[in-house]
Structure 1
């Protein structure tokens, strides 16, 4: 809207000056006015250029910052999922989660069906049972090789940390599921950029944009572990990993 208004104002100002030069201003003064008109045109041209380029530069910088933030949120998500696999629950203790990656182990198991004989009264019958055997253990840290998990709670480019919370959601009556959410306000990530564009960004409804006021992963209201960013950020990660 600002860009459109700037262009309309520029056209009106130039048209008015041109009219005055042709119809109202004496010929002797016209050269001076013409120079002033060119100065005004140059200024308006620069203003229009800035109005057009500002959102483009904002989006370019936004994507650059968001990509780093989302990479950390993905690491937090994977750490929480690993923690739940080993302990059965999520955690909101950031230091403990980092220590967990350093020290915990996944159990390597094998599930198989075996047939055993059971006595049912006077009868002996074959019963098939599922047995889970533990074959060994694998370091959780191996799944985070090459990832800066020790700094995953730091919001890149800022002095802030992600807000991490856990809770429970009742999806089926009487059965509660553990949930978590890590998030950061977009305004923190975009600090230093145009405030009007930041305000518009926080009102984004989704689609090709990160939805809402925060960049987040997980949810305290639903059983989900995905983020609120669009697929292009995941595609960018896959492309980077393949290069």
Structure 2
């Protein structure tokens, strides 16, 4: 709407100038001046059009690349959670993750809530009970049974080989590395594993308008990706959230 109004206003101004020329300039000079004015009008309209369309084209290209980058990080998150489930910590390299997905297995287990005789409590109260525990204390427990295994690949990435490219974001001819770091933090004297993965915005948006890219790196908006990196996880907090809004992908 702003673009249409700007072009209309430009054309109206040009039309007004042409009318003034027809009224005050000598007949021989009118055609040349009119052509120059119309050329200047069209050039000005083009500049207005470009000033409006440039950020629109930037946002379209940016959003395409961000969606691919976020999908890569979500795949990485899925792989790291699977690795931690089996190994108790996060993988500190992409090679470990690929090997784990190719060769690892998850246990298939069943859980059943039940009630059993609380022998310890019965002894503490000097209670003698029969085989059924009648006259004594009982406690709730969960019985866990392993009934089989399933491959990690089939469980997490069945039908896709995307996990082999977790180390970089590939968009057309562009390839941008994913920086992966792992560590531990302590919460109430408990050692907890953490990891952080980042993608540099400048590398991901290379080739786009540099002025708009500089603005993108400084953006502060809950509906945008703040800062100069796309980030998943943290090395100082126990979190697996990313710094992107949900329109680019799940973030929970």
Q: Shared topology, TM-score over 0.5?
A: yes
* Cα offsets for 1:40-83 (capped at 9, x unmatched): 11111111111111111111111111111111111001000111
1:164 is aligned to: 180
Equivalent residue in structure 1 for 2:244, among 222, 229, 237 = 229
**Which whole-Å CA distance do the structure 2 matches of 1:222 and 1:214 have between them?**
18
Q: 1-side partners of 2:118 and 2:28: how far apart?
A: 116
So what's the TM-score if we normalise by structure 1? 0.81
Q: How many residues get paired?
A: 226
Kindly indicate whether the alpha-carbon contact (under 8 Å) linking 1:108 and 1:138 is maintained by their aligned counterparts in 2: yes
Residue in 1 aligned with 2:132?
A: none
Q: CA deviation at 1:25?
A: 5.8
CA–CA distance in structure 2, aligned partners of residues 106 and 186 of structure 1: 36
* CA drift at 1:140: 1.1
Task: Tell me how far apart the structure 1 counterparts of residues 159 and 46 of structure 2 sit (CA, whole Å).
Answer: 46
2:203 is the alignment partner of 1:155 = no
Mapping of 1:11-160 within 5 angstroms? 18=17, 21=21, 26-112=26-112, 113-116=114-117, 118=119, 120=123, 122-124=126-128, 125-128=136-139, 129-142=141-154, 143-147=156-160, 148-157=162-171, 158-160=174-176
Alignment-derived partner of residue 181 in structure 1: 196
Q: Provide the aligned C-alpha RMSD in A.
A: 2.8
Give structure 1 regions of 4+ aligned residues with deviation exceeding 6 angstroms.
none
Asked if 2 retains the 8 angstrom alpha-carbon contact of 1:106 and 1:137, the reply is: yes
Deviation at 1:132, TM superposition (A): 2.5
- Tell whether the 8 Å contact from 2:79 to 2:97 is kept in structure 1 after alignment: yes
TM-score (norm 2): 0.79
Match of 1:203 among 207, 218, 221: 218
Structure 2 alignment gaps of length 5 or more: 129-135
C-alpha contact 1:207 1:230 (8 A) present in aligned 2: yes
Instruction: For residue 156 of structure 1, give the secondary structure of its aligned residue in structure 2.
Output: strand
